[in-house]
Amino acid sequence: MCEERSVEESQKCPCDELNLQSHVPVMADEVVDFFSGGLNEGLLVDGTSGAGGHLEMLSRALPGMTFLAIDRDPASITNLRSRFRNNPDVIVRQGSYTEIPEIINELGLGQASAALFDLGLSSIQLDDPLRGFSYRSDGPLDMRFDDSSGSTAAEVLNRRSEKEIADIIYIYGEEGRSRRIAKAIVRNRPVNTTLELVEIINGSVRRNSNKILSRVFQALRIAVNRELDELDRMIDELDSWTVVGARIAFITFHSLEDRRIKLLFRDTPLYQQHSPRWVVPGEDELQRNSRARSARLRMGIRI
C-alpha cells in the first residue's frame, strides 16, 4: 500500500451510503485492543472525542481508568456530556487538544497513561448543512470546529488575496488547479454559501468533479481551523503530559497529517513505533463504513 494517500477521501461520509445520522468510530476494535494491552489504571485522554464512539468502547473495556474527553466543538461537547452523564469515570471538557496540559493541570489529574487522537471531522459535523463542511448540501461557508472564535471559510475567501487562496488550495488540498480556482473565487466575491463555492469551482475547471470539490473543501477546513499548526503544537508538547510507557494512538485521514505521525513515532527518540507500523480498516469495516477507507491507525509508546 502507498505510504502517502491523497487528501480527497476525507470528504467521504458513511452517511452518503448508509444514511446514518451518527458517527461510526473507525477501527474501534483495533483501538481498544491497543489500549487494552497493558493498561488497567490511570488516565486516558481522548483528545478528539467527537460523538464519543471510541470513548464509549474504551470506557467499557477499561473500567479501572479515568477518561478525559476533549473536543474543540461546543456542539460535540453538549452531546458528550449527555452521553456520559451517568459515567463518573468520564470527564468532559471543551477545548483544543493543544490545551490538554493546562486542562489536566487544572483538574489535578496527573500525567496520562494513554492518549487517542482521531483526527479530522465527525460524520455528524460533515452531515450538518449549517456547519458548511460539505459540498453536497447548501449552507453557510463556516467550517469552524469552534464557532465562537476565528474566521469562517467565507471570511477567508472574501478577505484573503488571490495568491493566499491559491496557496491554501495547493498546500492543504494538493490540488494542481489551485490558481485557476482562486482566480475564479476572487472574481466572484463575495462567496457566502457552500453551493456558491461549488458553482465557482465547477465553472473554473469546466467540469463537475467531486475529487476537486473535496480537495478544495478540505483545504479550506484545514486553513480555517489551522489544523496542521494545532497538530504540530500538540505533538511538540505530548511528552510533557504523558508518562513513560504511555500508549498513544492516532487515526489520520490524509497524508498531510499522517506524515507527521509517521515521523513522530519513527524518528523522535521519545517514542517507539508500535508494531505493526500502521493498521488500515478490514473489508468488513469498509462494507459497513465507507468513510473508514482513507483511515490509517498509527500507534506508539512513549519511552
Q: In one letter, which amino acid is 297? A: L
What is the distance between the alpha carbons of residues 70 and 46, in angstroms, rounded to a whole number?
Answer: 6
Residue 76 contacts ligand SAM per CB under 6 A: yes
Nearer to ligand SAM, 100 or 212 (CB): 100
What does the block give as the cell for 253?
485521514
Strands 296-302 and 271-273: antiparallel
Q: What is the DSSP letter of 95?
A: S
Under a CB-based contact definition with an 8 Å cutoff, are residues 118 and 261 in contact?
A: no
Which of 42, 52, 173, 300: binder of ligand SAM (CB under 6 A)?
52
Query: In Å, what is the CA distance from 224 to each residue of 145, 268, 291?
Result: 9, 29, 22
Nearer to ligand SAM, 114 or 185 (CB): 114
Name the residue whose CB lies closest to ligand SAM: 50
What does the block give as the cell for 29?
476494535
Q: In one letter, which amino acid is 113? A: S
Nearer to ligand SAM, 101 or 203 (CB): 101
Question: Least distance to ligand SAM from the beta carbon of 97, Å?
Answer: 4
Nearer to ligand SAM, 49 or 113 (CB): 49
Nearer to ligand SAM, 58 or 198 (CB): 58
Window 187-206: residues binding ligand SAM (CB under 6 A): none
Which of 7, 15, 43, 53: binder of ligand SAM (CB under 6 A)?
53
Nearer to ligand SAM, 66 or 289 (CB): 289
Which of 7, 39, 51, 201: binder of ligand SAM (CB under 6 A)?
51
User: Which distant-in-sequence residues (6+ apart) come within 8 Å of 94 by Cβ?
Assistant: 70, 71, 72, 73, 74, 77, 146
- Closest Cα to residue 227, out of 78, 49, 48, 104? 48
What is the distance between the alpha carbons of residues 202 and 214, in angstroms, rounded to a whole number?
Answer: 12
Size of interface with ligand SAM, in residues (CB under 6 A):
23
Applying CB under 6 A, which part among 52-60, 176-184, 204-212, 272-280 lies near ligand SAM? 52-60
Window 81-140: residues binding ligand SAM (CB under 6 A): 96-97, 118, 120-122
Q: Is the peptide bond prior to 276 cis by the omega test (within 30 degrees of 0)?
A: yes
What is the distance between the alpha carbons of residues 28 and 61, in angstroms, rounded to a whole number?
Answer: 11
Which of 25, 173, 281, 300: binder of ligand SAM (CB under 6 A)?
25
Window 211-250: residues binding ligand SAM (CB under 6 A): 230
Which of 67, 133, 145, 265: binder of ligand SAM (CB under 6 A)?
145
User: Which distant-in-sequence residues (6+ apart) come within 8 Å of 244 by Cβ?
Assistant: 302, 303
Question: Least distance to ligand SAM from the beta carbon of 61, Å?
Answer: 14
Applying CB under 6 A, which part among 65-73, 133-141, 181-189, 294-302 lies near ligand SAM? 65-73
- Closest Cα to residue 114, out of 27, 56, 26, 47? 47
Under a CB-based contact definition with an 8 Å cutoff, are residues 296 and 252 in contact?
A: yes
Residue 13 contacts ligand SAM per CB under 6 A: no
- List residues binding ligand SAM (CB under 6 A): 23, 25, 47-54, 70-73, 76, 96-97, 118, 120-122, 145, 230
